[in-house]
Amino acid sequence: MKIAIGSDHAGFRYKEKIKTFLQELGHQVTDFGTDSGAPVDYPLFIRPVALTVAAGEAERGVVLGGSGNGEAMAANRVKRVRCALCWNVESARLARQHNDANMLSLGQRLLTEEMALEIVRVWMETPFEGGRHLRRIQLLDAD
């Protein structure tokens, strides 16, 4: 699967770990930065991930920051993006299963590295159940 990933300075360390984790699982990962822990403005790195997912150039996107809140808000401003801010495995599972989330936002300051990787694993593996939720999502994604 093609995955786009990006973070601000506060999510940089986990971004690097998640990127490696996804590559080890066989996914093709495009990294939109940032490339260090030096302070940056998060929209500069999050919006390109969201635009790539919205254009269908990546099937999924992962964004990170200190809390993940700003990153999720910035991503969700892009039409056809459904970015879920997840804080545990169950929120990740439900975001995929019920909401067909095509982007995941994580907060490095709020999660252990192990939990972040487990959230990503579950989010990647969980299929969308479709059914009654599908029409609602199609309406939201309509041009």
Q: How many domains does the chain have?
A: 1
Is 129 among the residues known to form the active site? no
Rounded to an integer, what distance in angstroms lies between the CA atom of residue 126 and that of residue 50?
A: 20
pLDDT band at 138 (very low <50, low <70, confident <90, very high): low
Q: Range with the lowest mean pLDDT among 25-29, 93-97, 136-140?
A: 136-140
Average pLDDT over every residue of 70-87: 98
Interior/surface letters 69-108, b for 16+ CB within 10 angstroms, e for the rest: ebbbebbbebebbbbbbbbeeebbbebbebbbbbbbbbbb
pLDDT score recorded for residue 130: 84
The CATH number linked to 72 is 3.40.1400.10
Q: What are 83-100's pLDDT values in tens digits?
A: 999 999 999 999 999 999
pLDDT score recorded for residue 74: 98
Is 98 among the residues known to form the active site? yes
Instruction: Say if CB 88 and CB 63 are below 8 A apart.
Output: no
Among 71, 90, 114, 125, the one annotated catalytic: 71
For the chain, what is the mean pLDDT?
A: 94
Among 27, 98, 118, 133, the one annotated catalytic: 98
Query: Distance from CA of residue 89 to its chain's centroid?
Result: 14
Rounded to an integer, what distance in angstroms lies between the CA atom of residue 104 and that of residue 13?
A: 16
